[in-house]
A and B are shown apart, each in its own frame.
Chain A
Amino acid sequence: MDTTQLLKGVLDLAVLAVLKDEDGYGYDILRRLREAGLEEVGDASVYGTLRRLFAAGLLTTYVVPSEAGPHRKYYALNAAGRDQLARSGKTWRSFATTMNALLDDRGMAA
């Protein structure tokens, strides 16, 4: 099964989750997702998701000047974003539990 298809549905949740404890800039967020095991995630997908979440009012941004490299635009969760993360997280866990139970019932190996 193609994980990119699965990723489409949960990328919002994944991006919100990696921003939960620490703000991050675009490339940083991509790196966190890949380190967490989502290796197939594309840069444009992350950038597009960030723009969309920002437009939806779930993220705030601020720019951090850098002496060596380019200025970095950091994204942070706001209250609405934390709310969304909590709700989507619950939805995902319940969905995953349902799917696991469905597969367990039919004797599929994990």
Chain B
Amino acid sequence: MTVTGQEIADYVDRVRGALADLPPAVRDELTEDLPEHLAEVAAETDGTLVDRLGAPEAYAAELRAAAGAEAGARSAFLSRRLDAARARAGTQLRALDTQLGPLLGQPSVSEFLRPLRPAWWLLRGWLAALVISVILGGAPGLLPRLDGSVFAGLVLLAGTVLASVWLGRRSAGLRGWRRQAVQIGTAALLLFSFAALVTVDQRASTDRFGSYQEISTDRRYDMIQDVFVYDEQGRLVTNARLFDQNGVPIRLGWPTCPDGTGVVPPPRYVYPYCPEQAPFAPPVPSPATPAPPAPGTVTPTGSAPAPSGSAPAPSASTSASPTATVGPAPSAEPTTTR
């Protein structure tokens, strides 16, 4: 053997260089085995590779032509690979068909499915009626309706079922684009009806809680986590209690203030729960500020309602809409939030 590995590597490099305009994947695909192949050639003949095979650039041009890989031919090359993958998938599917057949007591799965085809035709007719009724503006349900009429829906159902059975009995003889049209139509039908059935299922499973939702509290206050009360001077009132006109404590938010330690302190039913998170001013440093009996301003947080006006600190003159009395003694007069 007169050809060295180095000579082969150089030759391969020059061939790859001449194919540099091809997409890298195609070029790698083409030259993947080239070193081994050239080693075979070198082992069989005397003389240098260039003597045997010509210049690497000419070799590359011939290779390119033979492999059908023109510079812009990536898609053709890929589509061939796609065809190959499809052929392989088909073979595997057929193997699986016969392998899984015994599980169903038949030589193959397709033998098991063949007698079930009329059942599929009926199902397809029903799905088609559902999809038609949804497309015509009906609400998704298990029975098709036309303009809310169940009778018209049943007529439609009978029509689509008959059409589906008719199509099923004839589709075996269809070829070419007709066959493709049936396949594409069936796929679209399955997709649509799956979406429709998911909607039906969601409605069926949420209806149970419908009555519960109706008596739920005003949603505006669902988002409230804490309540901050400010007095006339804009100072934060701590340990405030809220009551409605019947003297029932108003409970908003979650009566605890989780600190970073992960330890949840016991619940306290005084506002604010977390004085450190006051939106406008730090808590008053003085030890105990008994809430003045004068009406103050309640500023719920959580849904972040900005106080009316542009003043950074709320005052009595710019009171926000939900007003309530602040103080130990409830009065019967003020507006309440419940």
Q: Is the pairing of A and B real?
A: yes
Binding site for B on A (CB under 8 A): 8, 11, 25-27, 31, 42-49, 51-52, 55-57, 69-73, 79-80
Contact present for B40 and A55 (CB under 8 Å): no
| A to B CB contacts below 8 Å, 24 in the list | A25-B40, A26-B40, A27-B40, A43-B59, A44-B62, A44-B63, A46-B66, A47-B37, A48-B30, A49-B67, A51-B30, A51-B67, A52-B68, A55-B77, A55-B80, A55-B81, A55-B84, A56-B83, A56-B84, A57-B87, A70-B36, A70-B42, A71-B36, A72-B36
Residue of B with least CB distance to A66: B43
Contact partners of B60 in chain A: CB under 8 A: 44
Whether A11 contacts B37 in the complex (CB less than 8 A), given A43-B53, A56-B83, comes out as no
Interface of chain B residues 36 through 62 with chain A (CB within 8 A): 36-37, 39-44, 52-53, 58-62
Extra A-B contacts (16), CB below 8 Å, given A55-B81, A57-B83, A69-B39: A8-B66, A25-B40, A27-B37, A43-B59, A44-B63, A46-B66, A48-B62, A48-B63, A49-B67, A51-B30, A52-B68, A55-B29, A57-B84, A57-B88, A70-B42, A80-B87
A32 to B30, CA, bound (A): 22
Residue of B with least CB distance to A69: B43
Count, A-B residue pairs, CB within 8 A = 87
Closest 5 CB pairs of A and B: A57-B84, A48-B66, A70-B39, A44-B62, A48-B67
A80 to B36, CA, bound (A): 25
Binding site for A on B (CB under 8 A): 1, 29-30, 32-34, 36-37, 39-44, 52-53, 58-68, 77, 80-81, 83-85, 87-88, 91
Contact partners of A55 in chain B: CB under 8 A: 29, 77, 80-81, 84
Contact present for B87 and A52 (CB under 8 Å): no
The minimal Cβ–Cβ distance linking A12 to chain B, given in whole angstroms, is 9
Task: Tell which of B1, B32, B64 touches A69, judged by Cβ atoms closer than 8 Å.
Answer: B1
The minimal Cβ–Cβ distance linking A44 to chain B, given in whole angstroms, is 4
Contact present for B65 and A8 (CB under 8 Å): yes
Contact present for B44 and A45 (CB under 8 Å): no
Contact partners of A27 in chain B: CB under 8 A: 37, 40-41, 43-44
A71 to B35, CA, bound (A): 11
Residue of B with least CB distance to A45: B66
Contact present for A51 and B64 (CB under 8 Å): no
Residue of A with least CB distance to B68: A52
